[in-house]
């Protein structure tokens, strides 16, 4: 048995995570060659489920590879062949006409358009259920195709690497199309990190905004999304009069596809979308992404609380906004960077937050030096200004940060109270705070979208 003395470092286990993203092996992939683009022999790969007999029409998935890849290699990065066997799908992986990259021009669009027609003639394809998706450069190619030929597809998926506005210009979609856009939280412009870390995020995030916003008019999208949080996965569903758009941010993910992407795309969108005689027809998806009913989001500098599907003001006092209180010098004990609880900043909200978020009754006592909160479930808290003490159900308990009375507003470290006393999950990103009744991690890009709705400001990239 190995023993270590105090202060001795335990050995680190070095594991290359890049080698730990294995997907099930793909068997039965068929290579096809045919002249489609004039003067070229084009190559693509087809996967048919073993049960295919030509009698039953099957949905078609068109999987568009990213830059530096080709259809064959990209097939090893997806689960579509596994889902094809389980669900009865046909999947094709086209090579780009030029070596390893899509130009996303009219020639490439026409190539994919013709290829879909060839496959539909070759096999018994359910033409009401054709779906396309692409990653990175393939995301850009999918956007180029879907803007020109949305009528061919029942839905489309995009992952990482969105198109810059300079490449799209004035072109916009010609018709509505249900869409899901996966975005990695750390899929940023890394060359800008040393110059300006904020721009490293903002440049990419503005591209994310643009790729969503170009569908607003044709899809008839609402500005207020429904939110569904599943741990690291942030889903924002923008409901549309003509078609919905789902933004899926994966916290901590960079420029890559999640291993379960095909499953998510199928369950959350494709499974419920058809295009019949040119018209979009919807049925319940296998995963409806029901909006969370136990979340509240606040933003630094804002008086509003986002509760799924609506906004509430916490207080009528204009200066009663969410604030970040930083500890001043002169604390009794210094712990030299050990993050002692009184030496670190805290995001604090007006005590009226509890009324807006949980329907609690709030009263100011003793000229505002104390605040009483009675929750609907019967729990009762009395907060004391300039103190860590809180009387919770008649017992004194200590918080990590004090409450503060400023300019008529009683501020409470609501995140710490909700986590420590109410058992909530609390997450912060870009000076927004998410308080949830279940496991939920707020992503930077989701926070950015919500900030436009909540108002307020962000201090810096953290």
Q: Which CATH number does the domain housing residue 441 bear?
A: 3.30.457.10
Q: Are residues 326 and 263 in the same domain?
A: no
- For residue 287, being part of any structural domain is answered with no
| Cβ-Cβ contacts under 8 Å for 13 (sequence gap 6 or more) | none
CA distance 268 to 275: 17
Residue 339, pLDDT > 90, answer no
**% of the chain beyond a pLDDT of 90:** 81
CA neighbours closer than 13 Å in the CB half-sphere of residue 89:
24
Across residues 344-350, what is the average pLDDT?
92
- pLDDT tens readout for residues 43-95: 999 999 999 999 999 999 999 999 999 999 989 989 999 999 999 999 999 99
CA neighbours closer than 13 Å in the CB half-sphere of residue 176:
21
Alpha-carbon torsion angle 166, 168, 169, 171, nearest 10: -170
- For residue 443, being part of any structural domain is answered with yes
Across residues 206-230, what is the average pLDDT?
96
Q: Are residues 234 and 319 in the same domain?
A: no
Q: Are residues 252 and 299 in the same domain?
A: no
Q: Are residues 346 and 437 in the same domain?
A: yes
Residue 96, pLDDT > 80, answer yes
**% of the chain beyond a pLDDT of 70:** 92
Across residues 174-178, what is the average pLDDT?
97
- Compute the mean pLDDT over every residue in the chain, rounded to the nearest whole number: 92
Place of tokens 């924002």: 236
Domain range for residue 55? 23-282
| Cβ-Cβ contacts under 8 Å for 231 (sequence gap 6 or more) | 439, 440, 441
Q: Are residues 246 and 305 in the same domain?
A: no
CA neighbours closer than 13 Å in the CB half-sphere of residue 265:
29
Of the ranges 301-310, 333-342, 403-412, which one carries the lowest mean pLDDT score?
333-342
Using the Cα atoms of residue 435, residue 233, residue 188 and residue 449 in order, give the sign of their dihedral: negative
3-state class percentages of the chain: helix first, strand second, coil last, to nearest 5: 25, 30, 45
Q: Which CATH number does the domain housing residue 220 bear?
A: 3.40.50.1820
Q: Are residues 48 and 157 in the same domain?
A: yes
pLDDT of residue 448: 95
- pLDDT tens readout for residues 280-336: 999 999 999 999 999 999 999 999 999 988 999 999 999 999 999 987 665 555 555
Torsional class of 114: left (φ above 0), alpha (ψ -120 to 50), beta (otherwise): alpha
> Which residue, among 204, 38, 66, has the nearest Cα to 133 in the 3D structure?
66
- pLDDT tens readout for residues 231-280: 999 999 999 999 999 999 999 999 999 999 999 999 999 999 999 999 99
Instruction: Give the gyration radius of the chain's Cα atoms.
Output: 26
pLDDT of residue 265: 98
Q: Which position has the higher pLDDT, 199 or 462? A: 199
Residue 9, pLDDT > 70, answer no
| Cβ-Cβ contacts under 8 Å for 154 (sequence gap 6 or more) | 128, 129, 130, 131, 178, 270, 273, 274, 275, 280
- For residue 86, being part of any structural domain is answered with yes
Q: Are residues 48 and 137 in the same domain?
A: yes
Q: Are residues 250 and 315 in the same domain?
A: no
Q: Are residues 252 and 358 in the same domain?
A: no
Across residues 133-159, what is the average pLDDT?
97
CA distance 69 to 438: 39
Q: Are residues 68 and 200 in the same domain?
A: yes
- For residue 242, being part of any structural domain is answered with yes
Residue 7, pLDDT > 80, answer no
pLDDT of residue 173: 96
Q: Are residues 72 and 177 in the same domain?
A: yes
Q: What angle do CA 338, 343, 344 make, to 5 degrees?
A: 90
pLDDT of residue 337: 61
Helix residue spans in 67-196 (DSSP H): 71-75, 80-87, 106-122, 137-148, 165-168
Q: Are residues 79 and 116 in the same domain?
A: yes
């Amino acid at each position: 048995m190995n023993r270590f003395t105090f202060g001795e470092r335990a050995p680190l286990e070095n594991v290359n995570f890049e080698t730990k993203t294995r997907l099930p092996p793909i068997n039965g992939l068929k290579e096809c060659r045919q002249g489609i683009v004039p003067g070229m022999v084009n190559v693509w790969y087809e996967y048919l489920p073993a049960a295919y007999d030509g009698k039953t029409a099957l949905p078609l998935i068109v999987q568009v590879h990213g830059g530096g890849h080709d259809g064959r290699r990209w097939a090893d990065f997806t689960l579509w062949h596994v889902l094809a066997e389980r669900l009865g799908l046909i999947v094709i992986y086209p090579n780009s006409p030029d070596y390893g990259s899509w130009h996303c021009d009219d020639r490439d669009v026409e190539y994919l358009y013709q290829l879909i027609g060839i496959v539909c003639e070759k096999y018994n394809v359910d033409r009401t259920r054709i779906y396309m998706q692409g990653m990175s450069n393939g995301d850009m190619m999918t956007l180029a195709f879907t803007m020109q030929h949305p009528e061919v597809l029942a839905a489309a998926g995009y992952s990482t690497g969105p198109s810059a506005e300079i490449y799209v210009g004035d072109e916009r979609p010609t018709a509505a199309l249900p869409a899901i856009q996966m975005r990695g939280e750390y899929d940023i412009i890394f060359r800008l990190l040393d110059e300006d870390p904020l721009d490293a995020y903002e440049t990419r995030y503005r591209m994310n905004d643009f790729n969503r916003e170009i569908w607003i008019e044709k899809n008839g999208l609402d500005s207020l999304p429904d939110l569904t949080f599943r741990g690291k996965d942030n889903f924002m569903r923008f409901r549309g009069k003509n078609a919905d758009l789902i933004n899926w941010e994966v916290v901590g993910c960079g420029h890559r596809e999640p291993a379960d992407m095909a499953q998510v795309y199928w369950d959350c969108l494709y499974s419920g979308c058809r295009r019949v005689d040119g018209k979009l027809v919807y049925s319940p998806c296998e995963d409806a992404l029901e909006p969370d009913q136990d979340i509240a989001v606040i933003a630094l500098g804002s008086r509003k609380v986002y509760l799924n599907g609506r906004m509430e003001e916490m207080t009528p006092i204009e200066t009663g906004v969410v604030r970040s209180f930083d500890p001043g010098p002169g604390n009794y004990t210094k712990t030299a960077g050990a993050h002692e609880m009184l030496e670190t900043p805290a995001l604090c909200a007006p005590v009226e937050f509890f009324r807006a978020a949980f329907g609690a009754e709030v009263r100011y006592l003793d000229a505002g030096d104390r605040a009483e909160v009675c929750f609907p479930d019967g729990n009762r808290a009395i907060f004391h200004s300039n103190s860590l003490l809180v009387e919770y159900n008649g017992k004194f308990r200590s918080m990590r940060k004090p409450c503060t009375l400023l300019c008529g507003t009683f501020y409470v470290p609501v995140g710490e109270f909700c986590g420590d006393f109410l058992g909530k999950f609390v997450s912060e990103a870009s000076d927004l705070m998410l308080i949830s009744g279940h496991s939920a991690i707020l992503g930077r890009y989701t926070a950015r979208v919500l900030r436009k709705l909540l108002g307020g400001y962000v201090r810096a990239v953290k």
